[in-house]
Amino acid sequence: SLGLPVFENVSIEWYSEVFIKEGQYVLRYELQDASGIAVSGTQGFKRMQSGVNPIRISYAMDGQNSGAYAIKTELLDAAGEVIKEASESLMWYSDEMLIDASLLEGVLTRATFEKSWGNWDEVPEYLSMIAPLASLAERRLLMNLKESMDTARAAFYLTRFWQEKAPDQALESWLGYKRVVDQVDSEFGSKTLPGYKTQMGRVFLQYGAPSLVEERPFDGKNYPYQIWQYDRLVSSSTPIQQNQVFIFVDQELVGRQYTLIHSSAMGEVKDHKWQFHLSRHSNTGPDIDATSTQYSRDNFGERISNSLIIGNQGTWFDQFNN
């Protein structure tokens, strides 16, 4: 699966089909919130007939809070016994119902948050820190929270984010992740930009440490560059991937501000002329549409055409698109 279905400022529409060969059955369905509790007024029943039974469910979501939901269905036999059940997860957003403010009353205060979770004034930065871990649906919610500038709601969501990811160790998981962020700041940050906001820092936080790193601070006429290779990529926003690479280049030559210019990973930037863009000089060749591996770039002393990770044939994506 590429992720959860996302409904934004619209009603939830769900369609499925149930095939009944013979017998008497009833389909029971309901919408559940993130806690598995049925949303009031969403329960329903439909008697099944022999053959294909189309099922269409619509929920207006009036007055509901943005967040994770699931449509649960159960097939009951004539005795009322559940013989099969299924659950379809989804995310629903409304700009008017981002988070129910009443959930904050008596639950989370500035004093409570600062006692364990961190600095209240740094909550907006905490949202930026967890962004690499967020799914595509969660990123939309984070963006809304950032734009709302409501610290109380943002702080509440931060705690809920970790409670959903680690129900038994929410606080410990957040503090452990924060230590990793501190390490990323030390490794990739600068005086003007924290490490978790750099592209190297984001990739590190989203996918973890690379399996291999080829670092070339001096390579002929090329800008300083690094190639990161991952044996296995695991992320909340993409399926599991195998053997992917990330190409970073420092074209500013100030403060090690490496930019991600190409990756073979799903959902990342693609540029099959990335080898050209490593060069400090024009290297276009006769065909401006040609990919980087269609011309020899074996300049004296350069390793980019014979990389330890990629070899002399470019990435798989380069070869495939030649």
Question: How far from 36 is each of 69, 72, 88, CA to CA, in Å?
Answer: 8, 9, 12
- Taking residues 117-134, what's their average pLDDT? 92
Is the pLDDT at 132 greater than 60, yes or no? yes
Q: How many domains, in total, are found in the chain?
A: 3
Give yes or no: residues 112 and 87 share one domain: no
Give yes or no: residues 302 and 243 share one domain: yes
Give yes or no: residues 226 and 308 share one domain: yes
Last residue of a domain, one of 199, 228, 254: 199
Last residue of a domain, one of 93, 125, 148: 93
Last residue of a domain, one of 93, 115, 131: 93
In a domain, 205, yes or no: no
Give yes or no: residues 312 and 239 share one domain: yes
Give yes or no: residues 119 and 181 share one domain: yes
Give yes or no: residues 10 and 73 share one domain: yes
- Taking residues 287-303, what's their average pLDDT? 49
Position 302 scores a pLDDT of 52
Is the pLDDT at 241 greater than 60, yes or no? yes
Least confident of 48-57, 69-78, 247-256: 247-256
In a domain, 177, yes or no: yes
Is the pLDDT at 104 greater than 60, yes or no? no
Alpha-carbon span 64 to 239, nearest angstrom: 30
Position 313 scores a pLDDT of 43
In a domain, 142, yes or no: yes
Give yes or no: residues 127 and 69 share one domain: no
Alpha-carbon span 242 to 261, nearest angstrom: 20
In a domain, 36, yes or no: yes
Alpha-carbon span 154 to 146, nearest angstrom: 8
Position 318 scores a pLDDT of 42
| Each residue's pLDDT tens digit, 152-207 | 888 888 998 898 888 899 999 999 999 999 999 999 988 888 999 999 999 999 99
Instruction: Between 308 and 140, name the one with better pLDDT.
Output: 140
Give yes or no: residues 295 and 228 share one domain: yes
In a domain, 1, yes or no: no
In a domain, 213, yes or no: no
Give yes or no: residues 105 and 69 share one domain: no
The CATH number given to whatever domain includes residue 25 is 2.60.40.2550
Question: How far from 133 is each of 34, 143, 146, CA to CA, in Å?
Answer: 19, 14, 16
In a domain, 210, yes or no: no
Give yes or no: residues 156 and 68 share one domain: no
In a domain, 128, yes or no: yes
Number of helices and strands in the chain (H, E): 8, 11
Q: Residue 59: which domain range?
A: 6-93
Give yes or no: residues 235 and 195 share one domain: no
Give yes or no: residues 60 and 147 share one domain: no
Is the pLDDT at 212 greater than 70, yes or no? yes
**Where residue 305 falls among pLDDT bands split at 50, 70, 90?**
low
